[in-house]
Structures are given as C-alpha cells and as structure tokens.
Amino acid sequence: MKEKTKFVAFSTQKGGAGKTTLTVLAASYLHYVKGFNVAVIDCDYPQHSIVEMRERDLKMKEKTKFVAFSTQKGGAGKTTLTVLAASYLHYVKGFNVAVIDCDYPQHSIVEMRERDLKLALEDEHYKRLAYEQFTRLQKKAYPVVESNTKEALADADYLLPQGDFDYVFFDLPGTINNEDLIHSLAGMDYLVAPISADRVVMESTLNYAVVVKEHIMGREKSRMKGLYMLWNMVDGREKTELYQVYEAVMKELDLPVLKTFLPDTKRFRREQNASRRSVIPDERAVYAMEHGGRT
C-alpha cells in the first residue's frame, strides 16, 4: 500500500520552463481523465500559484448564485418576478445577470427580449430610449437563453465561463412530478415562491413549499441554501389581517417570508406596449422593489 503512491516532481533549475503548468496538466489529466487519485503539494514559495489557482476556481464556482421564482401555481408571477429581479440587479445594481428561460413552450422571456430588440430597431422612440440606456449604463443587456427543464443546468454551466456572472435566474415550469424539474430545483441556490392572499393560491403554494423543503432542499446532493416566500400582487388596501393570519401559518411551517412585497400594479403587467414602457424598470418600479412595495 505504501509503495503504491508515486511521488512525482517536474523539476529543473531553469525558471519559466513549465514546472507549474506541467504539474497542473499531469495532475488534472490523471485525476479527472484517467481516474487516479491525485494530490498536489505546492512548494512554489512565495507565489504558490497552484493553491492560488484553486482558490480562484473555487471562488468563481461559488460566486454565481442560481435563483428561481418557483411555484406550482400558474400565473403567480414567476416570469414577471424573474424579469423584474434580473433587470433590477443587472441594470440598477450593476450585477452581471443571465436568465435561463425554461418556460416551455411559451418561452415568454425570450419572446419579450425579441420584441424589445425589434422595437429598439424599428421604433424611433424605443431606439432613442435603448440608446440612452445603454450609453448611460455602459452595459449590455443580459443574456436570455432559451432552454428547458432537462437542460437548464447544463445550459447555465455552458454560459458561466462566457461572463463573470453574479446571478443566473431560471424561469422554471411548475409541475413537480417530473424528475428533470426536481433535478433542476436541487441545482438552485435560492428558491422564491410567489404568494398572494388567496386561499387556493396559499394552499397550493404552501403544499409546494413544504414538499420542496422536505424532499429537495434536504437532499444530500441539493445545492439549495434557502427557500423564501414572497408576497406578489398585493392590494395595498388589503395588506392587513388576512396577511397576518397567513404569515402566522408560514411561521408555523418554518417558511420564511421576505419583507419586500410587490404591489398589484399595472406597471408589472406584461402587455403594455401602448404605454411605451422602458425595457429597464422605471423609478417607481425600482422604488417598489427597494421599499417593500410601497409606491
């Protein structure tokens, strides 16, 4: 057993001959391609380039957060919240964001983006708006990738090396009795379930959240660090007793509720071409996101 482990060094007195490069190449080839068990002792004092590379790799890997607004309930605001959160973080907060649209077959975000692009090219008003935005922000639009539940994580992994992404949002469908969806959900760092103060919505969403928490979040291979509930489509006049009752229920079930809530507002409705909206959230939408939904 003792003899089995081979100690190997790429060695020469000549600097810059490729000692570190060859060490990493050989170690990775034997470990990842050939299936051997390998360790590296980095004595390259003081730069320790291999230790540093590994730290950088780990940091890169950890840095990008995968997030999905997810619930079984249709029309709860998954797509709307995905676009709002992605745009807010990307354009307002300066993070780098990507969106993986798995909302088959409608692919609403891909479609929105195509429509925005078309408008920005054909309509003078939008052209000017887009120009102003992009020159002011000095930032490209975030990528929107058309995908599906089965390939969502692979598509994200393919995208990651192409940019320094802080967040990737996944617009996933809601049918939980599907192995591919369960696999994709387990690959998220954070899940946010939109809720509204309606008995049917609440019952369905709470069931969903409990199942996700017990059967996906707890799994050994799950990447999930948090599952949060988010009030959406809140009627300002109504945010009273009913909400408190539901919040107590969620506390009982150990489901954390985000303090921020989204009001029910025409501004978040999808089809509003006529009102010439901007492709990024306007000040009032931003204010709503930053001040718990009060506009």
Minimum distance from residue 37 beta carbon to ligand ATP (Å)? 46
Instruction: Give one word for 39, left, alpha or beta, with left for phi > 0 and alpha for psi -120 to 50.
Output: beta
Which CB atom, from 73 or from 78, has the smaller least distance to Mg ion? 78
Contact, 278 vs 129, CB < 8 A?
A: yes
- Asked if 23 is part of the footprint of Mg ion (rule: CB under 5 A), the reply reads no
Q: What's the closest the beta carbon of residue 177 comes to ligand ATP, in angstroms?
A: 16
CB of 103 to Mg ion, least distance (A): 5
Among 23, 70, 79, 87, binds Mg ion (CB under 5 A): 79
Whole-number minimum distance, CB 268 to ligand ATP, in Å? 4
Looking at beta carbons only, is 99 or 209 nearer to Mg ion? Answer: 99
Contact 79, 171 (CB under 8 A): yes
Q: Which is nearer to Mg ion, 69 or 88 (CB)?
A: 69
- Residue 232 C-beta: closest distance to ligand ATP, Å: 5
Residue 103 found at the interface with Mg ion (CB under 5 A): yes
The residue (of 103 and 155) whose beta carbon lies closer to ligand ATP is 103
Interface residues with ligand ATP (CB under 6 A) are 74-80, 103, 174, 232-233, 262, 264-265, 268-270
- Give the shortest CB-178-to-ligand ATP separation in angstroms: 14
Complex with ligand ATP: residue 199 or 266, whichever CB lies closer: 266
Asked whether the beta carbons of 172 and 158 are under 8 A apart, the reply is no
Q: What residues from 239 to 258 belong to the interface with Mg ion (CB under 5 A)?
A: none
Residue in the structure block whose two tokens are 């995908």? 147
CB 202 within 8 A of CB 195: yes
Taking CB atoms, the residue at the shortest distance from Mg ion is: 79
Minimum distance from CB of 77 to ligand ATP (Å)? Answer: 4
Cβ-contact 281, 289 below 8 angstroms: yes
Closest CA to 85 of 11, 144, 167: 167
Which partner in ligand ATP, Mg ion, none is near 80 (CB below 5 to 8 A by kind)?
ligand ATP
Residue 174 or 187: which CB sits closer to ligand ATP? 174
Tell me the C-alpha distance between 44 and 51, whole Å: 9
80 touches Mg ion by CB under 5 A = no
Q: Which of residues 112-141 bind Mg ion (CB under 5 A)?
A: none
Q: Is the Cβ–Cβ distance between 102 and 171 less than 8 Å? A: yes
Distance of alpha carbon 209 from alpha carbon 15, whole angstroms: 58
Which residues are at the interface with Mg ion (CB under 5 A)? 78-79, 103
